[in-house]
Amino acid sequence: MERIVLASTNKGKLREFGDAFNALGIEVASIGQYISGWDVEENGATFYANAQIKAEAAMEMTGLPSLADDSGLSVYYMGGAPGVYSQRYAGENSTDQLNNELLLDRLAYAKNYRQAHFTAVLAYAAPGAVTHFALGRLYGSITTAPRGDAGFGYDPLFEIRGSTKTLAEITLEEKNRISHRALALRSLFKACGAFRG
Ligand code: IMP
């Protein structure tokens, strides 16, 4: 079976990407299987740059085709912040809860201007080939208080456009159908000749 490396040790991502690629007859292995203590500095200014840094580092270290993703939340009232800083919005060792509290704080006066989107960029790097990219976006708005227990990150504050629910109020299966990562993956499959059967 053809194998690609996922430039992440996140189990949720491994399962999500694994399921999608398995359906195409491609196995997805975590970078953790090849490199112990995998850690690459994500110092890019954009989601594209960070995804490229991770995918190309994994490809160079393993010699195998590698996939990486980078994602985050952009809030229009805040000029697109926290963007690439989503994970460490409230500081280097921040938590989801602290990030969410800070976001609500910053939007305290943004009564009717709470639109936002999640972005996911995928980078696929194969030896001797140009790196392919794909983008997915999920649109919505930021609630005034957290709702729901599912998901992670900003999910309890993100009300999906066209729905009354936040991402933390839907099942993982539903989220995996509509998420920015799912959209990016579909786009990568469409655009990238390497996956055409
Ligand atoms: P990364 O792409 O795994 O580095 O994720 C960056 C950060 O963006 C996460 O730590 C979350 O704060 C935020 N984020 C990305 N995708 C989601 C999502 O689907 N739900 C909630 N937060 C997300």
Counting atoms of ligand 1 from 1, which one is nearest the CA of 175?
19
Containing 180, the helix (H) or strand (E) segment is helix 180-191
Active-site hit among 70, 96, 105, 149: 70
Is 69 among the residues known to form the active site? Answer: no
62 CA distance to ligand 1 middle (Å): 26
- pTM comes to 0.94
128 CA distance to ligand 1 middle (Å): 30
pLDDT single digits (tens) 137-149: 999 999 999 999 9
Span 2-195 CATH architecture: Alpha-Beta Complex (3.90)
pLDDT single digits (tens) 76-132: 999 999 999 999 999 999 999 999 999 999 999 998 999 999 999 999 999 999 999
Question: Are the C-beta atoms of residues 62 and 34 closer than 8 Å to each other?
Answer: yes
If 0-12 CB within 10 Å is exposed, 13-18 middle and 19+ buried, where does residue 19 land? exposed
pLDDT single digits (tens) 184-197: 999 998 887 656 54
Residue whose entry in the numeric block shows the structure tokens 């991402």: 167
What does the domain layout of the chain look like in residue ranges?
2-195
Task: Give the whole-angstrom CA distance, residue 186 versus residue 190.
Answer: 6
pLDDT more than 70, % of the chain: 97
pLDDT single digits (tens) 145-184: 999 999 999 999 999 999 999 999 999 889 989 999 999 9
Task: Give the whole-angstrom CA distance, residue 26 versus residue 156.
Answer: 33
1 CA distance to ligand 1 middle (Å): 30
pLDDT single digits (tens) 11-48: 888 988 998 888 889 999 999 999 999 999 999 999 99
Buried b or exposed e, range 129-142, using 16+ CB within 10 angstroms: eebbbbbbebebbb
* Angle 110-115-119 from CA coordinates, rounded to 5°: 135
Task: Give the whole-angstrom CA distance, residue 110 versus residue 90.
Answer: 19
Question: Are the C-beta atoms of residues 125 and 66 closer than 8 Å to each other?
Answer: yes
pLDDT score at 197? 46
Helix (H, G, I), strand (E, B) or coil at 11: helix
Task: Give the whole-angstrom CA distance, residue 8 versus residue 21.
Answer: 15
